[in-house]
Structure 1
Amino acid sequence: MPESVAIIMRAKNEMPHVRRALDMLARQTCGGDFDLFAVDSGSTDGTLEALEEYGANLVRISPEAYVPGKVLNEAIAATRHETIVFLNADAVPQSTDWLENLLRPLRENLADAVFSKQIARPDATFIVAYDYERAYDPAKIEPGFFSAVACAFRRKLWEQTRFPEEGYAEDVRWAKACLETGARIRPVPESVVEHSHNYTLAELRQKRFRQARALRIATGPLAQTGKCLREIIRDLLHAIVRFKLHTIPYNLAYRIAIHRGVFSGRA
């Protein structure tokens, strides 16, 4: 008999993506039942109503009470399921076997935690789509990479290692701590969700600042500058090959914003 599965959604103003995500959840052929839990931190655009219509076990909190790691730990603690799945409310499964594919490595004891491949939305900017393409390429994926946007893990793994409740990048920090205990974490390319954001340059810089601060990145000025230049050249070549020369000015600003954020937030 398949282990019991809890799907936990975090939501705040996720229309129209949340309805698409819920529609795909209703169509999953997962080889077993699952229960949906949701934490809404102040939606005003119809997201809350969509979750209620679906029948999610819903918890409402204020926007000020949303602390990522704390919310995740409390949501898991409210369940009794053996397998925990996270699916952001704006992450849309791309097939009816998304969940079945995601859970297979856990059920076959090939992994202790797994995460879905993410593809950019149709409206994603050229450089954002390129970053998602590279980040989830099985041949190029970075060691220790993990995303809680769409993932699954055994409850006992969480009982051994809780999500950090301070700062940001809680999923990456959790995965790192799990790996240090010998946990097996792997991507599942066959399990795909649509998910991306076209952040403003200021938002992007702030996001990377927070991540660098949380991860205690300590890259020096020369090393950070060198990495930025290498990525700018890589982006330029990609735009040329794809005949997207008009994207080059924004690509340049985008990449510099990322590295400015990381450099400002470094330890």
Structure 2
Amino acid sequence: MNCSIVIRAYNEEKHIGRLLEGIKQQTVKDVDVILVDSGSTDSTVAIAESYGARIVKIRPEEFTFGRSLNYGVKEAKRELVVIASAHVYPVYPDWLETLLRPFQDESIALTYGKQRGPEFAKFSEQQIFHQWYPDVSKPKQETAFCNNANAAIRKSLWEKNNYDETLTGLEDLAWAKWAKEQGHAITYVAEAEIIHVHNETPRGVYNRYRREAMALRRIYPEAHFNFYDFLRLTVTNILSDLWHAARERALLKNISSIFWFRTMQFHGTRMGHRETSLVTPQLRETFYYARERKMKDEKKRDVAPIKYKR
């Protein structure tokens, strides 16, 4: 089993080394690592080169999420292409092995794995990770939901349909939607777990959800999100987070971030939606709705996690 790994990066010297070290410790050894750098001014490129990564550069003024991925996938030497954000790192040494295993089924076009935040992640962000990435795998899932922070695709299918370079985000969802429309399948692999480091300001959270909502409207023109949705989902998600935080005896230290995070999340979502219409219930639940979960519901694996030096 072999693969190429495409990593998009901009000034990621704080995180890129841990990802590359995690790749080095994988059970899959035959890997071709490509770093797509969009103008880093720190030591990101030097660190990547020290691990043997090939560097592909894109000018900052040309950057879009889809375009940077297209640059990287084009350079990939292998049929199976793993896509990872520069600020993630694998938990287990069989991350690649488990993420790639479903491709033994020729109908699988894309796989994506579990994401969790580091210990210092905002409480609401952790709730979203639990909501979107459960402990149970989903072979051939019903929706097109996926996430390119931790995913893999077939290059031969990408050659038929490149990532949309005009979207403000969710280029992964657009590609997955196309793949399903062509009769291919998507698999969620819970065992392929990574830690995803987000440490955003309120403005950063607002901008992320605003651009993703703008992209969602392009992909699903029938989508809508009005002021009532903003109020309802802000309130219900804040209450859900407060309840979970109280159960986990973490309310006091998280109460402030819960309020601002959820407010910025859904304010950004509302501003990104400029028109009102309908969206599939499955997709609305995936993106917006808090789900009930058990406290301390993490499934333990028999695989020892990677021990990082830093």
Change (3 A) 1:139 1:26: closer
Q: Distance in 2 between matches of 1:112 and 1:65?
A: 28
Q: Distance in 2 between matches of 1:10 and 1:71?
A: 7
Deviation at 1:249, TM superposition (A): 2.8
Q: Is the 8 A contact 1:9 1:88 kept in 2?
A: yes
Change (3 A) 1:125 1:222: closer
Percentage of identical aligned residues:
32
Gaps of 5+ in 1: none
Q: Distance in 2 between matches of 1:100 and 1:114?
A: 12
Letter of the aligned partner of 1:6 in structure 2? S
Q: How does 1:53-64 map to 2 (within 5 A)?
A: 53-64=50-61
2:9 counterpart residue number: 11
Q: Which shifted more, 216-225 or 201-210?
A: 216-225
Q: Distance in 1 between matches of 2:183 and 2:243?
A: 39
1:220 counterpart residue number: 226
Q: Distance in 2 between matches of 1:56 and 1:124?
A: 28
Deviation at 1:55, TM superposition (A): 1.5
Letter of the aligned partner of 2:89 in structure 1? V
Q: Is the 8 A contact 2:5 2:81 kept in 1?
A: yes
Deviations 1:120-148 (A, max 9, x none): 01221222222212221146999332100
Q: Distance in 2 between matches of 1:190 and 1:110?
A: 20
Q: How does 1:90-109 map to 2 (within 5 A)?
A: 90-109=87-106
TM-score normalised by the chain length of structure 1? 0.91
Q: Distance in 2 between matches of 1:195 and 1:70?
A: 22
Deviation at 1:199, TM superposition (A): 1.1
Q: Distance in 2 between matches of 1:263 and 1:160?
A: 34
Secondary structure at the counterpart of residue 243 of structure 2? helix
Deviation at 1:61, TM superposition (A): 2.7
Letter of the aligned partner of 1:241 in structure 2? R
Q: Is the 8 A contact 1:128 1:198 kept in 2?
A: no
Letter of the aligned partner of 1:209 in structure 2? R
Q: Is 2:83 the counterpart of 1:86? A: yes
Q: Is 2:203 the counterpart of 1:202? A: yes
Secondary structure at the counterpart of residue 115 of structure 2? strand
Q: Distance in 2 between matches of 1:153 and 1:110?
A: 12
Q: Is the 8 A contact 2:109 2:179 kept in 1?
A: no
Q: Distance in 2 between matches of 1:48 and 1:140?
A: 34
Q: How does 1:23-172 map to 2 (within 5 A)?
A: 23-30=21-28, 33-109=30-106, 111-138=108-135, 143-168=143-168, 169-172=170-173
Deviation at 1:179, TM superposition (A): 2.0
Q: Distance in 2 between matches of 1:51 and 1:250?
A: 34
Deviations 1:27-59 (A, max 9, x none): 2112x6121111111223321111111121112
Q: Is the 8 A contact 1:134 1:140 kept in 2?
A: no
Q: Which shifted more, 188-197 or 175-184?
A: 175-184
Secondary structure at the counterpart of residue 146 of structure 2? coil
1:241 counterpart residue number: 247
TM-score normalised by the chain length of structure 2? 0.79
Q: Is the 8 A contact 1:103 1:152 kept in 2?
A: yes
Please, what is the CA RMSD of the aligned residues?
A: 2.0
Secondary structure at the counterpart of residue 158 of structure 2? helix
